[in-house]
Chain A
Amino acid sequence: MAAEDLPSEFDVVILGTGLAESVVAAACSRVGQRVLHLDRRSYYASNWASFTFNGLLTWIQQLQEESQPKEVPDWSSQLEEGEELIYLSSSDSSASICNLQVFCYTSEEDEEEQAPDTTEEETVRAADEDAVQEVSEAESAETREEEERRGADKGQAAQTAGEEPEAESHPHAAPSQSEPAKKKLSYAQLVKEGRRFNIDLVSKLMYSRGSLVDLLIKSNVSRYAEFKNVTRILTYRHGNVEQVPCSRADVFASRQLSVVEKRKLMRFLTSCVEETEEQTAYNGRPYLDFLCDQQLGENLQHFVLHSIAMVTADTPTEEGLASTRQFLRCLGRYGNTPFLFPVYGLGEIPQCFCRMCAVFGGIYCLRHSVHCLLVDKHTNRCKAVIDSRGQRISCSHFVAEASYVGAERKKVATPTRFLSRAVLITDSSVLASDSEQQVSVVTVPPIAAGCPAVKMVELCPSTMTCIPGTYLVHLTCQSIGSAYQDLSPLVTRMFRTVESHDKAETRPAVLWCLYFNMADGSGTEVEGHDLPSNVYVCSGPDGSLGHEHTIKQAEFIFHKILPDEEFCPPAPNPEDIIYDGETTAATGDTQEEEQSPQKQEEEETKEEEETKEEEETKEETKEEEHLQTEE
């Protein structure tokens, strides 16, 4: 649909498709608000996005090209009586992302391709896979061998993907282990299979009783996505990766704990659930002191402090206990760990909420932004916005992601903090086990004084985020220096790169990695900026492991806009929806529902999702995307 078709009046205009904005959009649309949801980027989910390998390379390239901020036209001609203009920031996400560094540690060969580090080539590589295969068919015998092996890998992946997660631990999945030392995947192969990657910009997990999971269930948005359990919690200690026993079954099976330690750990965890006077006596004192006094040995203190509470030695006891409780509360709801991970990556989640918004009538345009706000001088309320095509669109509320708001108008208490991120493609797991399909969280305490504590998530191919034979590793910490400075020492220790010299043969090899810093959204407030009273600012991703901050923020904004409405009530079942023309008296006749346009719409959206693997909808150069429903 063309841009002129945009209606000129909405209840809520939302700029940016990150998680908070998408939840607000879905919530508003769900209760009948007319929502216009825009993003100046060509992809959904802003800094929450997931990219294919090729998509990520394009993203890197665009950031490195450092596009000049476009001159914003003067829209003052659109001003009406008693109005003033507020211009939004026109610079791209470059402000929130910096210090990009890319390293490739695998051979670049695969015959005709070379110099993959030069970004020009990478976009070309997004070519049709079949075509590339045809080329390699004509190559040497060695390549053909390579192809066959890869084919076998694929078959295996298809098999494991179909199985239930429980079944994956069966010993019969083992044969592939006996394979002779496998050849390292080349960069060319990563590129060739690039679209089977889903690489997240943020690395988070969903607490199984956290506010995001609750919201997904409550709103029925969960029907749009699939999830996998994180299967194990690991920690890095004394130079080794160890499994942290946290569930009852883990503790039972653990070989590293003595039976007495098992009892002590279980007893401690059970006693944590309830608040006791003994605990409150430690308020304000470090959690570590409390743990010491609980007669937990050094082993157990480490596990509880770093891997279960995921706090540092000086965290106060009440905070440490709160995180321990949250961990325990989430344990066992869906599996042996407290965490879930969405299949196809975290970028799915904001898109699911956008889909929900669209199903209830929200309108979506990518590569479409808002240039300025039109503010009523007397009421200090935003009456309308002017979009990037100069169209005046009136609205009652305006929500924007923080990066759209100019620095001069934002009120930030402290200087913007950053997160250090690293994304690694490796050839094996940091801790080999019976099953190759493990989703692991690794907690890494500071490796030296002054170093940050790092959270690491290792994803296996069954999460549909990487190709068989590889693992996708996300590292996150609060920035001290640049991402490379913060994280590369750890990468060198835990993995095999050209920098690791000593006997590193047993460690996973890094094939490719990316370092970057991202602004930490936890400092941004919804209100209190130099902005009209009906304009709300959503922060970008924060550094914590869960989504509590973001969901809380979205709910807060929603209640600011609609104080009397329910936040994301369950979406009705399709058969319970009454469509125009249907008699209100229930006849039980379900025939006509099939023809209803809204239902069709919903089905189309689902279909679109299902076919996503085949057609790279995100890569398509769509001018804009309308998901409009009938009035």
Chain B
Amino acid sequence: MSDPGGALAEVARQRGAAAAKVRLPWSYPALFAVVWAALLGGTTAARDHERLGIPLFPYTFVAATALAVLLVVFRRRSGLHLLWRSTPYPALKRLQARTTGVVAGGAVVELGLYLLGDRWIAASWAALVFAALHGVLVAAQLRRVNREIRADIREGRPGSA
């Protein structure tokens, strides 16, 4: 193979294939949002289910299990190790502070509402609503990180070669 242009086109094609492999189907962030909301609001829902008039259910346990299943399914479907022993994509570092802020900030707010819910039922409702909104926010951040990882791969940025 002696055509440098053709060789580079093949490199671009493989980068595109790798990027397509890590693309999340629309259902994944949607499921992630639901699972995350259940994980975050699960403790409040479990404690206050009688006061809130919602069924008793092991929300946190089921959500944690579903989250693990989502991660494993993605790993198997993509055929790629993305979440551990991952390539240090620049996007991960670039968005690390924002991602940490979104996750940790949400957890702190949820914890505060959970503690207040012990005194005020409105805080428990707020905890459930916030958990749902935070699920959407985390899913949006997941999509954004995924989109930028794919851009890193397509562009062959350092770390993703």
Q: Do A and B bind each other?
A: no
Binding site for A on B (CB under 8 A): none
Query: Which residues on A are within 8 Å of B, measured CB to CB?
Result: none
